Structure 1
């Protein structure tokens, strides 16, 4: 992944045509388009193919199975045009490594701690081990919560040159500036963009906030 804008669009919609329209409006203003099960279950892998013809597509399937099943899922995503996939760490380093091996040249990002309140209940106590495991498995980076920037700071320190992507900005209450200043390489924003009457403008405004937060203080 090449991060320039520090922004990833989360397309948590179920209408493939709408997803494509929003992605086109945001094209050139975000570093990637993240799609998950809602869109793929509604539109099939063709939705990934359509988006991948214009953008870096990150398939956020939160893969969390035995190594062989993980491999099969990643192969399907990559064959449809995904440039990256998201898996969970809690299934074990062997399961994460299976994703990395199956991805070939595509990126694998590992969820260490989720952004909703429940994500802190069971994951936070293991998140640092999850981050170290992701590094050892050869992942491109991790996913950590913009809603808890203090956790972003701790987890980023374990990654070396690997990326940290931070969801939870906007509707969940996370601040773009706080996440970036804590060490996030990119924020992930869904509803704040795709529910806007002008998604392109919303993405531009978020990009400006990221750029401001990146400036030395």
Structure 2
């Protein structure tokens, strides 16, 4: 998956008008957005279809799928059939649950992203100790796409070492959580930015500044 300007917008708003206003201002520079539970629960999964019809963007569904294999398969199938191009899945549930997601996505000619470690401080207690094992499991299963934190560059670097240079990593936590886009892109293929863009008084300008900071 290629990402324009190496920036993914996390569109974690709950109102359709606001979402569209932000997309109107930013899709000149973006071709990939991440949609999570806030907007999907507020507006229904058809918002994925609507955005795909209105804007020429790729959509990653950030549902952090984490259930038994049979349930995971249903979640992935339903989500991707609404038009999402990829879906994020947790790895701590084990290889059978992850493989169910991978197989269903491939059946639909779509992709999954395997979440190795999260960007918030609380992830250090339970996910950090096993994140490299999760990454290695992904490699063993033939997964090419991963999620790793922009807020913990040392961890991001280690995860890159495990998954290899040819894998595609996207990294949340840039901006409001403290991650820096330029530093992140030393090891990641794309930085995920949410609140620093959608809460800005001028989302377009905020995005332009982030893109410019990468070039400096």
Runs of 4+ in 1 over 6 A off after TM superposition: none
Secondary structure at the counterpart of residue 158 of structure 1: helix
Does residue 51 (structure 1) correspond to residue 51 (structure 2)? The answer is yes
In structure 2, how many angstroms separate the alpha carbons of the residues matched to 1:94 and 1:210? Answer: 38
Residue 179 of structure 1 aligns with which residue?
Answer: 184
Secondary structure at the counterpart of residue 178 of structure 2: coil
Residue 79 of structure 2 aligns with which residue?
Answer: 77
- What is the 5 A alignment of 1:5-24? 5-24=5-24
Does residue 133 (structure 1) correspond to residue 137 (structure 2)? The answer is yes
Write the deviation string for residues 136-171 of structure 1: whole angstroms up to 9, x where unpaired. Answer: 223331111111101111101122311111111111
Residue 42 of structure 1 aligns with which residue?
Answer: 42
In structure 1, how many angstroms separate the alpha carbons of the residues matched to 2:59 and 2:9? Answer: 10
Write the deviation string for residues 157-216 of structure 1: whole angstroms up to 9, x where unpaired. Answer: 1223111111111111111122112x011110000000111212212221222344xxxx
Residue 215 of structure 1 aligns with which residue?
Answer: none
Does residue 115 (structure 1) correspond to residue 119 (structure 2)? The answer is yes
Question: Offset of 1:18 from its aligned partner?
Answer: 1.5
Of 191, 197, 201, the match for 1:197: 201
Secondary structure at the counterpart of residue 60 of structure 1: strand
Contact 2:11 2:19 in 1 (8 A): yes
Write the deviation string for residues 15-40 of structure 1: whole angstroms up to 9, x where unpaired. Answer: 12211221232113124110111111
RMSD after superposition: 1.3
Long gaps (5+) in structure 1: 213-217
Does residue 163 (structure 1) correspond to residue 165 (structure 2)? The answer is no
Question: Offset of 1:4 from its aligned partner?
Answer: 3.3
Aligned length: 211
Of 96, 111, 120, the match for 1:94: 96
Question: Offset of 1:119 from its aligned partner?
Answer: 0.8
Task: With the length of structure 2 as denominator, give the TM-score of the two structures.
Answer: 0.93
Residue 146 of structure 1 aligns with which residue?
Answer: 150
Contact 2:4 2:29 in 1 (8 A): no
In structure 1, how many angstroms separate the alpha carbons of the residues matched to 2:7 and 2:184? Answer: 11
Secondary structure at the counterpart of residue 4 of structure 2: coil
